[in-house]
Amino acid sequence: MSEAANIVADVARQENVTRILDCAERLFRHYGYGKTNVADIARELGMSPANIYRFFASKVEIHQAVCGRMLGASYKMAYEIMHLPISAEERLRRYVHAQYKLTMEVMLDDQKVHEMVIVALERDWGVIDKHVDSIHDLFAEVIGEGIEAGEFRKQDPVTASRCFGAATVILCHPQMVAQCLAKTNRAMPDDLIDYAIRALK
């Protein structure tokens, strides 16, 4: 097969993958992950289940890819905030607030999305660990810049990034946010963020 033909085949494949993922996410959001199967996705697309399996080995693999796209959107938001032309402290503060808002609005208000996320967390997929590592890398970069600017005390940015992530995870982890939402004996978001930033200073 020529290089041009390979490119055309790759584009066609990616278009089919995108169609399948768009459809799967739409059905997961409408009916719930547990109530949607590969046959439903195939029927919606006017395909046979066998055709879906040409691109994905299982419903779990489709779910992984859908969650990967959601995490990609979350990382894009984080990257944009972390590269704003403002102080390191303000970038960290804005990111945690934005992630908390995203968790509240998308992952909790939309129960079907929340179900998808919980299933992914329970399966402990590598894609989630990679996302956490990517966020910690952004933290380390910003904390390092804050140290150089004199905003934060001298410290190891990598260790500090992991500690900052652990200190604020209760505002970013869907299960923790859900469990703490109605509790009156939990720190408020602003107080927790202030506390974590003071630790960096």
Q: For residue 31, what is the domain's CATH number?
A: 1.10.10.60
Q: Which helix (H) or strand (E) is 117 found in, with range?
A: helix 111-123
Does residue 16 sit in the same domain as residue 70? no
> Are 81 and 94 in contact, with CB atoms under 8 Å apart?
yes
User: Containing domain of residue 67, as a range?
Assistant: 60-200
Look at residue 11 and tell me whether its pLDDT is greater than 80: no
Closest CA to 118 of 164, 70, 76: 70
Does residue 31 sit in the same domain as residue 105? no
For the segment 84-90, the average pLDDT, to the nearest whole number, is 98
pLDDT tens-digit readout, 110-151: 566 667 777 776 776 777 888 899 999 999 999 999 999 999
**Whole-prediction pTM:** 0.79
Does residue 64 sit in the same domain as residue 52? no
Does residue 154 sit in the same domain as residue 117? yes
Task: Please provide residue 84's backbone torsions phi and psi, each rounded to the nearest 5 degrees.
Answer: -70, 150
Q: What percent of the chain has pLDDT over 70?
A: 84
Look at residue 78 and tell me whether its pLDDT is greater than 90: yes
Amino acid at 39: A
